């Protein structure tokens, strides 16, 4: 009888390199996912520590998770973790002692693309902090934002790599950054801007708005929508101009956009990303919470259209008459609010809640918060230190 030909055993699913990569790439984008996978065996470790695979991992997920929020606390930039163990980042890992950076009156302007931006109005300086690497970069504010006639200024930090096909924002601490600073001048009644480029270490030319701008730039951090940054403008005692200031990153231009009618004077407004990726607004005017869309027709005429209205008490599941907007996460499209802690006798004790705007789902977080403090969400594809060797 002829001998039977031996056949190689079929590869198991986890023995196929391509299939294993497709499985690992679908792990949740949480800090512990890849480090824990790297401990399974050497083959898994080779994937988890491979730079090309990690780029594919970020590209697959696109949106980095919210690791926590930054807040100002005396002389310290304090990181407040929001994830549960094993993904919870210790507060001290990302916090920064500001006493080493001169006078302690630093204000947080916002977080974006893995960096935190702070402004010291006393020393007229900006500080860019990269929590993952711990690096800091101090930048002097140009005189145009500090001389007589200026009515306040703000700034935003973002990755200079842009939205190139091969680059996914969320782990940008190795990429160059840029800072866009804007302000208004009550004498000339114009908005002005300058752009700082980390690669050159220089500020670009002065940019001025073509139309009058009598308002002043608010303290709340700006929002990146598409290729533009947006800041809320507020009126002064001499003017009621409270529109929105737009800085177009591609055309390096400033434009003022009118806001929709916002109702009572105590309405709270947050610029958001709209449903179709355009400009939007979230307006909290108790008892309602409204979402608006900014629309531009084929003739260039713009208008605001209401998109959604919900009742605050119904959305949050309890009386919500003293609720305040305290932050916004662009990548997660989520509003951060502070509200009274339920069943608490202390009227000043408040809890932080996160509202996902697409689903209107609400998540409560333990611990107290302050209604007068802005919370700056920090998103990142942080991997908590990939394990480079097996024990």
C-beta separation of 381 from 58 below 8 A: yes
Distance set, CA 185 to CA 120, 144, 149, 197, 330 (Å)? 19, 9, 5, 24, 29
Q: What integer pLDDT is reported at residue 9 of this predicted model?
A: 53
Of the listed ranges 9-13, 59-63, 101-105, the one predicted with least confidence: 9-13
Distance between first and last Cα of the chain: 52
Segments making up each domain of the chain, as ranges:
16-61, 62-379
C-beta separation of 290 from 306 below 8 A: yes
Q: What integer pLDDT is reported at residue 389 of this predicted model?
A: 39
pLDDT digits (tens, 9 = 90+) for 258-280: 888 766 555 689 999 998 889 99
Query: pLDDT grade, residue 391 (50/70/90)?
Result: very low
pLDDT digits (tens, 9 = 90+) for 205-253: 999 998 888 788 876 789 999 999 999 988 765 555 678 999 999 999 9
Of the listed ranges 19-28, 140-149, 156-165, the one predicted with least confidence: 156-165
Q: Is 301 exposed, middle or buried, given 0-12, 13-18 or 19+ CB atoms closer than 10 A?
A: exposed
pLDDT digits (tens, 9 = 90+) for 96-106: 988 877 666 78
Both tokens of residue 373? 């403090």
Does the structure show a pLDDT above 70 at 74? no
Q: Any idea which architecture 62-379 has in CATH?
A: 6 Propeller (2.120)
Q: What integer pLDDT is reported at residue 98 of this predicted model?
A: 87
Q: Average pLDDT of 185-195?
A: 87
Distance set, CA 13 to CA 3, 17, 35, 54, 367 (Å)? 30, 9, 21, 21, 44
Reported residue count of the chain is: 391
Q: What integer pLDDT is reported at residue 242 of this predicted model?
A: 72
Is the pTM for the entire model greater than 0.85? yes
Q: How far, in Å, CA of 7 to CA of 10, rounded?
A: 9
pLDDT digits (tens, 9 = 90+) for 288-332: 899 999 998 888 788 999 999 999 888 888 887 788 899 999 989
Does the structure show a pLDDT above 70 at 5? no
Q: What integer pLDDT is reported at residue 121 of this predicted model?
A: 84
Sole residue written with tokens 């909290």: 284
Q: Is 135 exposed, middle or buried, given 0-12, 13-18 or 19+ CB atoms closer than 10 A?
A: exposed
């Amino acid at each position: 009888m002829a001998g039977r030909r031996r056949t190689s055993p079929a590869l198991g699913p986890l023995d196929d390199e391509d299939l294993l990569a497709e499985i690992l790439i679908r792990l949740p984008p949480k800090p512990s996912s890849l480090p824990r996978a790297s401990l399974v065996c050497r083959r898994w470790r080779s994937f988890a520590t491979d730079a090309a695979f990690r780029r594919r991992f970020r590209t697959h997920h696109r949106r980095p998770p919210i690791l926590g929020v930054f807040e100002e606390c005396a002389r310290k930039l304090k990181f407040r973790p929001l994830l549960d163990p094993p993904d919870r980042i210790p507060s001290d890992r990302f916090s920064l002692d500001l006493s080493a950076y001169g006078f302690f009156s630093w204000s947080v302007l916002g977080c974006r693309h893995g960096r935190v931006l702070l402004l010291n109005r006393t020393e007229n300086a900006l500080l860019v902090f990269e929590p993952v690497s711990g690096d800091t970069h101090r930048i002097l504010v140009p005189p145009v934002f500090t001389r007589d006639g200026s009515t306040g200024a703000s700034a935003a930090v973002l990755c200079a790599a842009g939205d190139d096909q091969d680059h996914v924002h969320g782990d940008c601490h190795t990429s160059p950054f840029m800072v866009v600073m804007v302000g208004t001048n009550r004498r000339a009644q114009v908005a002005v801007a300058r752009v700082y480029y980390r690669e050159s270490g220089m500020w670009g030319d002065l940019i001025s708005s073509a139309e009058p701008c009598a308002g002043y730039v608010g303290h709340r951090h700006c929002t990146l929508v598409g290729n533009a940054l947006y800041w809320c403008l507020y009126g002064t005692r001499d003017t009621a101009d409270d529109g929105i200031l737009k800085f177009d990153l591609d055309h390096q231009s400033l434009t003022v956009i009118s806001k929709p009618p916002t109702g009572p004077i105590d309405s709270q407004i947050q610029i958001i990303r709209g449903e179709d990726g355009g400009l939007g607004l979230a307006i909290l005017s108790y008892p309602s919470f409204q979402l608006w869309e900014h629309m531009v027709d084929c003739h260039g005429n713009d208008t605001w259209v209401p998109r959604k209205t919900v009742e605050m008490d119904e959305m949050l599941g309890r009386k919500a008459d003293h609720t305040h907007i305290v932050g916004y996460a662009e990548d997660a499209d989520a509003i951060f609010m502070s509200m009274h802690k339920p069943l608490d006798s202390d009227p000043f004790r408040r809890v932080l809640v996160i509202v996902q705007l697409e689903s209107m789902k609400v998540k409560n977080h333990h611990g107290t918060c302050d209604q007068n403090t802005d919370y700056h969400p920090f998103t990142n594809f942080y991997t908590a230190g990939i394990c480079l060797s097996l024990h």
